[in-house]
Structure 1
Amino acid sequence: MSAGKAARLARIGTGGRHVIVPMDHGITLGAVDGLVDIESTIDAVTTGGADAVLTQRGIADRVHENTNDAGYVVHLNGSTSIGPDESDKRPTGTVEDAIRAGADAVSFHINVGSEHEPEQISQLSEVTSAAREYGLPVLAMAYARGHDVRDEDPELFAEDLGHAVRLAEELDADLVKTAYSGTPETFERVVESTALPVLIAGGSKGTDEETLDIVRGAMDAGAAGVSMGRSIFQHEEPEKIARAVASVVHEDSEAADALRAAGLAVEA
């Protein structure tokens, strides 16, 4: 690994673990809660302990003054929830665009198992090749999504997720984000499928305890952290939930202890 890439990876993590808060949902969902005043949200989550935030390149100028020295990842593809097919993520920028926007890393979404997989494989490969020229880390968001994905059974789903994260490594990504399979035992299969650091996605916003239990389960299975969006940036108190997640990831706290320490309620 080049010195430049190592330095940039250190800017989006702490000690090889990562709490990244993606906020690129403005393309997918529009100006939803948490993204209208994105400046305040970025300030809150990074004050709470997020290592990095992630957006599309077009709002970079709204990011940098509010990160509290956290890292910045630029996402390079997207789609909308009101378009013909949300799985059909299309390129939204280049590695060079991301560098001009001040990125410490780039990310790219691929739906393994979907009808768009072939094009997305080619596109991710192009991104990793270009990023290597600059020593820029690549976070592959590699999901298992498609008609033949076995997401109703945690063990079978873990096999499909394992295929997705291994694909990311084969295409020369540096980090990989994927869905949680449902249990720590099955997620071990996912983590074992690649030598890359594996981060879990948050998915739809749940309760605080559900969020922290998922994070704890993933870390117990060997994950290297989270890349968690709506569960953090749409929280009523984004600074507190970011602090709780960071406590689990970076301090190995138990879920309930992390919630209490952050000042969030724990169900009896």
Structure 2
Amino acid sequence: MFNTHKVRMNRLLNNGKCLDVAIDHGVCNEPSFLNGLSDMAGVVDQLVAANPDAIQMNYGQADLLQNRNGKDKPALVLRTDMGNPYNPERHRSMWAVLQNEDDPINTALQMDAACVVVNLFMLPDEPDLFRQCVKNIGKVRNACDRVGMPLMIEPLVMQPHDGRGGYMVDGDREKIVTLVRLAREMGADIIKADPTTEAEDFHEVVEAARCPVLVRGGGKEDLAAVFGKAEQLLKQGAHGMVYGRNIYQHPDPSRVVKALMAMIHDGVSADVAMGVYQQG
């Protein structure tokens, strides 16, 4: 039997490595995330020219990538869910829902995605949100199994909402390792995980996953810090990175992509990557 799961994984991962540029921020319903994403057609043009391994998008924008002629373009990672934990205010009701409850990956098949991604939120004092995510993952996993679609799970451990402008990432090693292990138990083919506070602990995340692990980039940072963190995490066994704002909010995203691709696929250091970036 033809292994469509393996075919899609091969399209996503280049020799087991991947740079996935996330521009699926519209479903977060958070205005600050949209800086740099007002002209989606222009953003996609820039990213295709930069040629990362994958672009992470939502169904309503994926046509901008998949309607392009030719075969030489990044793979599509399609977001299947949406939720409200990213807003600065704490909502009375926290939720995470699939965009298509009845057939959660039908749109991924229509758009010829290489992979689908779904959240696993763990927020303090929000057990129902966690339960919703577990239910979502179960539905998506079953649908993926029927058609050989790889599943990326995004386990997100967040700190209490204490007025700092929304839920912030909790880099606690034990919490991240435990949630990543749960994601693997639920059938993740790929895991998109937050970095641990101490980068030297990240190998424990990779060991718990027992599948490719891509590191979630998070908020906008200085490029030297981005490259330095990436170097540390790749040395700990990460298979690649998922960056959004650090790429699409940059004046020249292609230069950032080129530098990160050199780190992920060629193993260059942060200092060399900065040189690649500066050379353009």
TM-score, normalised to structure 2, is: 0.85
Q: Retained in 2: the 8 A contact 1:79–1:86?
A: no
Q: Over aligned residue pairs, what C-alpha RMSD do you find?
A: 2.6
How many residues align? The count is 262
Q: Does 1:89 align with 2:80?
A: no
Q: Give the distance between the partners of 2:246 and 2:168, measured in 1 at CA.
A: 24
Q: Give the distance between the partners of 2:259 and 2:96, measured in 1 at CA.
A: 31
Unaligned runs of 5+ in 1: none
Q: Classify the secondary structure of the residue corresponding to 1:107.
A: strand
Aligned-pair CA distance for 1:146: 5.3
Equivalent in the alignment of 2:13: 13
- Indicate which of 132, 135, 145 corresponds to 1:119: 132
Q: Classify the secondary structure of the residue corresponding to 1:169.
A: helix
Unaligned runs of 5+ in 2: 161-166
Aligned-pair CA distance for 1:254: 0.4
Equivalent in the alignment of 1:72: 76
Q: Retained in 2: the 8 A contact 1:57–1:97?
A: yes
TM-score, normalised to structure 1, is: 0.89
Give the 5 Å matches for 1:97-246. 97-113=107-123, 114-115=126-127, 116-145=129-158, 147=160, 157-246=172-261
Percent sequence identity is 22
Distance 1:15-1:142 versus aligned 2 partners, 3 A rule: same
Q: Give the distance between the partners of 1:248 and 1:95, measured in 2 at CA.
A: 32
Aligned-pair CA distance for 1:87: 5.9
Q: Give the distance between the partners of 1:123 and 1:201, measured in 2 at CA.
A: 20
Aligned-pair CA distance for 1:49: 3.6
**Comparing 31-40 with 202-211, which one deviates more in the overlay?**
31-40
Equivalent in the alignment of 2:163: none
Distance 1:180-1:233 versus aligned 2 partners, 3 A rule: same
Q: Classify the secondary structure of the residue corresponding to 2:188.
A: coil
Aligned-pair CA distance for 1:150: 11
Q: Give the distance between the partners of 1:85 and 1:252, measured in 2 at CA.
A: 46
**Comparing 114-123 with 212-221, which one deviates more in the overlay?**
114-123
Q: Retained in 2: the 8 A contact 1:47–1:68?
A: no
Aligned-pair CA distance for 1:40: 2.4
Q: Give the distance between the partners of 1:184 and 1:232, measured in 2 at CA.
A: 21
